Amino acid sequence: MSDQKAVTEMFDDISSHYDFLNHLLSFQVDKIWRRKTSRIVASCQPTAILDVATGTADLAIRMAKNIPMASIVGVDLSEKMLEIGRQKVEQEQLEQRIKLMTADAAHLPFEGSRFDAVAVAFGVRNFEHLEAGLQEMLRVLKNNGLIAILEFSHPKNGMVKGPYQCYSKYILPKVGRAFSKHPQAYSYLPSSIEAFPESWDFVQLLKRLGVVEVKEEAFFGGIATLYHGFIQKKPANPQ
């Protein structure tokens, strides 16, 4: 079993509890972070948006509400998460503007330069190959299009770092297991955050891949960080 397959099966297994635990374990602030991400995306007035690792479509729905003229495609590897997302999209009566489909971030089924903006919330750390996934996101982004990445990060504030590490390593896994009945799911979260590049390293990676005007905004002392910038593609070589 590949790591990516294991991660997909894990999210399938916890899909029915995912939204409840997300909001419970983040004390509802994940909703605030998604709203801020949506506002950044809205600032470039996109009409075609790709939401990678959309999960149960929370970010896609928030962007649809904030950006009335936009059509949104959400992709994820977990079909069970997408099933819940489709129910939520239908409840919000957004079926005409949000399409959810199964797809691998490393092999997106879209032509190049299709989208005005690409966003992902709490998903890039789950990529089997981080750089390959980022390159695919940038491939389908139009020249000068916006990329916005919301991800958990390493707190740098001393007053936040200690309590957060204790919470994420000991409290969060126990609560997650109690509700989701999945033994690994909420132990995987702190380990995946620990393995994710530090903020400066991730910014440098984005710049190396062609993203310009990269900005990062840390939330709650660095528990989560929003990275955003614009892709500048080199013109094709003349024949």
- Residue 160 confidence class, pLDDT cut points 50, 70, 90: confident
Q: Is pLDDT at 194 greater than 50 in this prediction?
A: yes
* Contact (Cβ atoms closer than 8 angstroms) between residue 98 and residue 107: no
Domain-located, residue 237: no
Q: What is the pLDDT of residue 163?
A: 80
Share of the chain above pLDDT 70, in %: 84
Q: What is the DSSP string of 51-91?
A: EET-TTSHHHHHHHHH-TT-EEEEEES-HHHHHHHHHHHHH
Q: The tokens of 115 are what?
A: 């989208």
- Provide the CATH number for the domain around residue 213: 3.40.50.150
Q: Report the number of distinct structural domains present in the chain.
A: 1
Q: Is pLDDT at 12 greater than 90 in this prediction?
A: no
Domain-located, residue 149: yes
Domain-located, residue 122: yes
Share of the chain above pLDDT 90, in %: 60
Q: Which of 188, 186, 184 is nearest to 173 (CA)?
A: 186
- Residue 186 confidence class, pLDDT cut points 50, 70, 90: low
Q: What is the pLDDT of residue 108?
A: 97
pLDDT digits (tens, 9 = 90+) for 44-95: 999 999 999 999 999 999 999 999 999 999 999 999 999 999 999 999 999 9
Residue ranges making up the domain that contains 52: 3-231
Domain-located, residue 218: yes
Beta partners for residue 148, in sequence order: 119, 228
Domain-located, residue 42: yes
Which single residue is written with the structure tokens 């309590």?
A: 163
Domain-located, residue 236: no
Distance (Å, whole) CA 20 – CA 1: 28
Domain-located, residue 133: yes
Mean pLDDT of 213-235: 91
Domain-located, residue 239: no
Q: What is the pLDDT of residue 176?
A: 65
Mean pLDDT of 144-167: 84
**CA-based angle 47:229:60, to the nearest 5?**
40
